[in-house]
Chain A
Amino acid sequence: MKGSTQVIGVELKLIMRDPMSAFFALAFPVIMLWVKLRSGNKPLPGGVLAIDATVPMLTAFVIGLAALVVLPATLAHYRDRRVLKRLRVTPASPVMLFGAQWAAHMLLAVLGSVLVILIGLVAYGLRGPASVPVVLLAWLLGALSLGSIGLLLGAIAPSGRAATVIGLGVFFPMVFLSGAVIPRESMSGSMRAIGDLTPMAPVVQAIRDGWSAGTTSPLTLGIMVAISVIAGSIALRAFRW
Chain B
Amino acid sequence: MTDIIEINNLSKSYGGPRFSGPPQVADGVRTYGGPGSSGPQEADGVRTSGVGKAVDGVSLRVARGEIFGIAGPNGAGKTTLVECMSGLRRPDGGTLRVLGLDPQNDRRELLQRIGAQLQEAALPDAIKVGEALRMYASFYDKPADWRALMSEWGLADRKGERFANLSGGWKQRLFIALALVGNPEVVFLDELTTGLDPAARRTTWGQIREMRDRGVTVVLVTHFMDEAEALCDRLAVICRGRVVAEGSPRELIAQAGSDSLENAYFALTEGELA
- CB-contacts of B211-260 with A (<8 A): none
Assess whether A7 is in contact with B135, with CB atoms less than 8 Å apart.
Answer: yes
User: Chain B interface residue count: which class?
Assistant: 35 or more
Bound-state Cα–Cα, A2 to B135, Å: 10
Q: Is A169 an interface residue (CB 8 A)?
A: no
Q: Which residue of B lies closest to A84 (CB)?
A: B121
Assess whether B111 is in contact with A89, with CB atoms less than 8 Å apart.
Answer: yes
Q: Is A159 an interface residue (CB 8 A)?
A: yes
Which of B29, B122, B188 is within 8 Å of A86, CB to CB? B122
Q: Is the interface of B mostly helix, strand, loop or mixed?
A: loop
Q: Which residue of A lies closest to B123 (CB)?
A: A83
Assess whether B27 is in contact with A162, with CB atoms less than 8 Å apart.
Answer: yes
Q: Is B112 an interface residue (CB 8 A)?
A: yes
Q: Is B196 an interface residue (CB 8 A)?
A: no
User: Chain A interface residue count: which class?
Assistant: 20 to 34
Assess whether A78 is in contact with B136, with CB atoms less than 8 Å apart.
Answer: no
Assess whether A10 is in contact with B135, with CB atoms less than 8 Å apart.
Answer: yes
Minimum C-beta distance from B149 to chain A (A): 15
Bound-state Cα–Cα, A90 to B31, Å: 23
Q: Is A42 an interface residue (CB 8 A)?
A: no
Assess whether B26 is in contact with A159, with CB atoms less than 8 Å apart.
Answer: yes
Minimum C-beta distance from A3 to chain B (A): 4
Q: Is B88 an interface residue (CB 8 A)?
A: yes
Q: Contact residues of B with A, CB < 8 Å? A: 26-29, 31, 35-36, 86, 88, 108, 111-112, 114-118, 120-127, 131, 134-136, 138-141, 178, 182, 188
In order of increasing CB-CB distance, the 6 nearest A-B pairs are A86-B121, A159-B27, A6-B138, A3-B138, A89-B116, A17-B126
Q: Contact residues of A with B, CB < 8 Å? A: 2-3, 5-7, 10, 13-14, 17-18, 78-83, 85-86, 88-92, 158-159, 161-162, 238, 240
